[in-house]
Structure 1
Amino acid sequence: MFFLSWGRPSPQDQKACINKAGTFNYDDKYKGATAKSLSSLKADEGLSKDGFLLNNARVLMGSGVETFEKGKSALRSWRHFGLNWAFVDPKTPVQQGVTFCVCVKEFLPWVMMPLQIAYVNETSTTKNRVASFGFGSGTLNGHLLAGEERFSIEIDENNQVWYEVLSFSKPAHILSFVGYPYVMLRQKYFAHESAKLMQKHINSSKS
């Protein structure tokens, strides 16, 4: 089962996709795993044993609290998905348990891929001015992949602001199995383009 649309998917198309999707299509023991660091996921032998591959991009957005707050706002409004070939309904609330579709144009048809927000994490501390905001979404039945992806923004002890995309995935359909090298390239390309969108939003929003 997977979901196609010959035109740009409407809200009704996306709702129908979500209604048919059902539950997570990956093991419960990995639910929320992307809340961990990249090094922790690399050290998790279970992930690689079960066939999952990691994808990670960490990009410097600038520095200062204003940049961090603009980055948080961008994530909450799905600015990182504002591409002409990949989008999420920007009205989708960033809250645990919310289901949504990532709509991606692949050649002629659009593919609708259902997900659910598995967690939302926000930390804030005055010590060293370190703070972060991020959320992870897990794939549902009907998604071409099985796994989880986290988008986050962080201000570190040096006052630098970082945007990060971290995911683990494996094929969940014959189409993605056959074309998995292409899928991995698209994941890396999306992370690159997503970072550019975040940077553009942060720069255009500065007073």
Structure 2
Amino acid sequence: MLDASAAAELRAAPFSYDEVGATRGDLPKGYVPMRRELHIGQGQEFFELARTALFGWHVHRAAGPKIIPSSLQVAEDTVALVRIGVGPLALKAPVRVVYVVDEPGRAGFAYGTLPGHPEQGEESFLISMDDAERVRFDIVAFSRPGTRLARSSGSLGRAVQERVTERYIEAMVAYTRPDTHQVG
């Protein structure tokens, strides 16, 4: 976990984009939008398992990037440092939770980028259950390059972002499969 001083420093930092909370509705212009959705299961028990996977950072940890959060459970204003890569070459991508949804049939959160993140924008992760108890996982994001390195990476940066998103989906599916369920 992040130490208290690092967490306080990230909480004090402004978001690196103006459209905070925009993943709740129409995505802003000037960014590359991304939407992924997948039916992942059925029933209240399955919904609760997916909720646990999401709010306990399990999906993010299993997706590949190292995530160092300020709290073991997602909550508003939780901050995290996402590290992609290894050693001194790892990219550090600070984020802060923008909003949390936790109500019957809907659970999830969005985080936004902070200064130092290679991108500018926001990403949301939402589990929902309809009246027929079908459980769906939605990821919605908008982003644009936020650093010189990100701008110079061109399509490579976008490809990495898309691959990490696919890994979030794969991680959720793996975590919620009864025959392979593991906490951690």
Give the TM-score, by structure 2 length.
0.85
Question: Structure 1 stretches of 5 or more lacking a match?
Answer: 1-9, 42-46, 125-130
Are 1:112 and 2:92 counterparts?
Answer: yes
Residue-pair matches, total: 178
Are 1:23 and 2:17 counterparts?
Answer: no
* % identical aligned pairs: 25
Distance 1:97 1:11, change over 3 A: closer
3-state secondary structure, aligned to 2:137: strand
Q: 1:118 is aligned with what amino acid?
A: V
2:111·2:122 contact (CA, 8 Å) conserved in 1?
yes
| Aligned position for 1:128 | none
2:120·2:145 contact (CA, 8 Å) conserved in 1?
yes
* Cα offset, 1:122, TM superposition: 2.1
3-state secondary structure, aligned to 1:142: coil
Question: Structure 2 stretches of 5 or more lacking a match?
Answer: none
2:2·2:80 contact (CA, 8 Å) conserved in 1?
no
| Aligned position for 2:157 | 183
Corresponding residue to 1:94 among 58, 64, 74: 74
CA deviations 1:139-160 (Å, max 9, x no partner) are 1111111111101111123321
Q: 2:164 is aligned with what amino acid?
A: F
| Aligned position for 1:139 | 113
Corresponding residue to 1:33 among 15, 18, 22: 22
Separation in 1 of the partners of 2:112 and 2:151? 18
RMSD of aligned residue pairs (Cα, Å): 2.5
Which portions of structure 1, spanning 4 or more consecutive aligned residues, are displaced by more than 6 angstroms? none
Give the TM-score, by structure 1 length.
0.76
* Cα offset, 1:106, TM superposition: 6.9
1:18·1:101 contact (CA, 8 Å) conserved in 2?
no
What are the within-5 Å matches in structure 2 for residues 1-207 of structure 1?
11=2, 16=6, 19=9, 22-27=13-18, 30-36=19-25, 40-41=26-27, 47-48=28-29, 51-83=30-62, 85-89=64-68, 91-105=71-85, 109-124=89-104, 131-203=105-177, 204-205=180-181
Separation in 1 of the partners of 2:89 and 2:5? 18
Separation in 2 of the partners of 1:107 and 1:122? 36
In terms of fraction of residues, the more helix-rich structure is: 1
Separation in 1 of the partners of 2:7 and 2:2? 10
1:52·1:168 contact (CA, 8 Å) conserved in 2?
yes
Separation in 2 of the partners of 1:183 and 1:156? 35
Highest Rg: 1 or 2?
1
